Amino acid sequence: MKSFKEDLMDAVALVADIERHLKINTLNSNEKNVLYSILLKEKKSDDCIISDVISISKLSRSTVFKTLKKLERLNLIACKQSTVDKRELVISVNI
C-alpha cells in the first residue's frame, strides 16, 4: 500500500505533466494561481468575474488585473464585458 507521501508525489508529477502538456509550466506562481482560480470558479458556475478571482486567489485587485492581461495576451483566457453589469468582465479559460 502506498504511503500518503508517495501518493502526493504522484499527484505533483501528474500536475507537472499536465502543465507541460498545456504549455503553462512557464507561468509564475501568481499566473498559475489566477488561472486555477478561474478554472475552479468555472467548475462551480457559468460566469467568472474579477471579484471571484480576487476572492479565490487571495491576491490583490491590481495583481489579478495585471495577471489577467498577461494571460489574455498569451491567449490562455478570454475576457468579455458582462451582459448583466457592463462594469464587469466575464473571464473564461481558453484551454
pLDDT value of position 31: 98
Closest to 78 in 3D by CA, of 66, 86, 90, 64: 90
What is the pLDDT at residue 84?
A: 86
d(CA 28, CA 72): 15
pTM over 0.85: yes
pLDDT tens digits along 43-85? 998 789 999 999 999 999 999 999 999 999 999 999 999 888 8
